[in-house]
Every structure is written in structure tokens, then in C-alpha cells.
Structure 1
């Protein structure tokens, strides 16, 4: 289980870093580089989903409802990240997407730290 946990944490940290890089490249007008990083980011979405799914499968007997809720909020985070990048690329208003992303990240971090596998801060 610890390898799965470490893989999941590594995947979502790299996903977050790639999101920031893709956003910065898009805002700076480097479309080709932004597109490449965005495609790599989409691969990391899948890695994050796969490792998260493995964790949920492993921990399903501990507290299934809470882990499923965290999984759904995690999907919301990934969807909001994608919305921010696509709307930025199309020069559309991103305020709503950013609000969704911030709210979803706060909720998923709270749930992640609150659940038995977390750091028990809450």
C-alpha cells in the first residue's frame, strides 16, 4: 500500500507542476511548447487516476464512502485544471474555472489529510 501511496503522491505533484508549466507557456504565447506539455499533463491525469483508483480499491474496506467522495472531488480537480487550460488557450474567461479549481483543491486536500491514510492534521 505504501508504494501505491507514494506513486499517487508523486503523480499528483507532477500533475500540478505540469499544470503550472502548461498554464505559464500558454499565457506567454508559446503555443507549440504549451501543447506538448498539455499532452504530457493529460498522460499524468491518467497516472493520477490509476494510482488513485488503486488506493481506493486497497482502502475500500476502511471507509468506502469517504474515499469515494475524495475520488470524485479528485476528478473535479482534474476537470477544473483542464477547463482552466482550455479556456486560457481559447482566450475565454477563466474566473469560474479558477474558482472551481481552488475550491476543489482545498476540499480534496482536506479530505486527503482527514482520512486514515493522511497526516492526521484535522
Structure 2
């Protein structure tokens, strides 16, 4: 069994993946695969469990829609790009952009963009 361990440690990730797929698809009995590749059945079952867990995770739906997907650092430059994109790509109105920023930033948008406050106040 010692030689089986050595062979198993020399397998590349792609070879391990291929063996796991063969176990999962049941193309050959596990015993035959183990003999053919000189690894233990336990090793093959471990690899197939890893592959199965990865498949389960890839196709599972999130239990909670409120899970944080990613963190986005918001800088003044990023906000300027957002404003340009909203106006030039989405054809948003100036009033719509100001309203969005007011909703997202609260009253902080006046400190970041003093021109917005002046433009909105003027008739």
C-alpha cells in the first residue's frame, strides 16, 4: 500500500480530476480504476467526494439573497465615472442622477459634489 500512496502523490490535479470524473460517472468499477492507476480505492473515493462537493457548490442556490457578493471601494473618481456612465450610456436625466446619489449617499453628496446642490436649487 505504500507504493500506492507514492503514485497518488505524483498525480497532477488534472489526472486527479479525470479519475474523480470516472468514479462519478461510473464508467468502470472503482476497484478496476484503482488497480489500473495503482492507487487505493479510498483515494479514489476521496477525489470523487471533492469533485462532487465542488459540483454541489457550483449548482446550489444561495440560501440567503442578502449574502454579500463583493465589496466595492467607492472613491470620488469612481463616482464621477458612475455619473458619466449614467448620463452618457444610460441617458439618465440630471435630476435622476442627483436623486440616485442622494439615495445612495444621503446628504454627503452635497459635500462631494457642491455643484449638484447649486444646480438643483436654481430654478
What range is the shorter-chain TM-score in?
under 0.3
Q: Which TM-score applies when normalising by structure 2?
A: 0.25
The structure with the greater share of residues assigned to helix is 1
